[in-house]
Amino acid sequence: MSDEPDNESTAAAQPLEELQGEAPKATEAGGRIDLDLLMDVQVQLSVEIGRTRMPIRDLLALHEGSIVNLERGVAEPMDLMVNGTLIARGEVVESGGQFGLRLLDVVSPAERLKKLK
């Protein structure tokens, strides 16, 4: 066994930038984020109709036909979530034979970016 480090452990100890060369800049002049780099990233959208909490005992007792009461009224708008973050609220509509969501209130882009930090 040699006292010299093997190439794998040496590579792991080097900073990532040294291994890959200079990384592309994600910011423009002035420290602003270049969002063009993110435009093709896929995200998960979901509509949340409501939430509730219940003890595991009640959860295990659920069966076909059970009704789970949610903390949201039937007239309240639904939440549009992107990767678990609220971005808008809206009302459910039919669109081409499928469910859709007509947006009533959209969280401002500035507020959405604040939540990313």
**pLDDT for residue 48:** 94
Residues 100 and 47: their CA atoms lie apart, in Å, by 9
**Nearest CA among 106, 102, 49, 107 for reference residue 75:** 49
Between residues 16 and 32, the one the model is more confident about: 32
Q: What is the pTM of this model?
A: 0.60
Residues 91 and 99: their CA atoms lie apart, in Å, by 10
Residues 101 and 80: their CA atoms lie apart, in Å, by 8
Q: What is the mean pLDDT of residues 95-99?
A: 94
All structural domains of the chain with their residue ranges: 26-116
CB 88 within 8 Å of CB 106? yes
Between residues 91 and 7, the one the model is more confident about: 91
**What is the CATH code for 26-116?**
2.30.330.10
- Distances in Å between the alpha carbon of 2 and those of 5, 8, 60, 94? 8, 14, 60, 70
1-5, 51-55, 58-62: which has the minimum mean pLDDT?
Answer: 1-5
5-9, 37-41, 67-71: which has the minimum mean pLDDT?
Answer: 5-9
The band of 30, judged by pLDDT with boundaries at 50, 70 and 90, is low
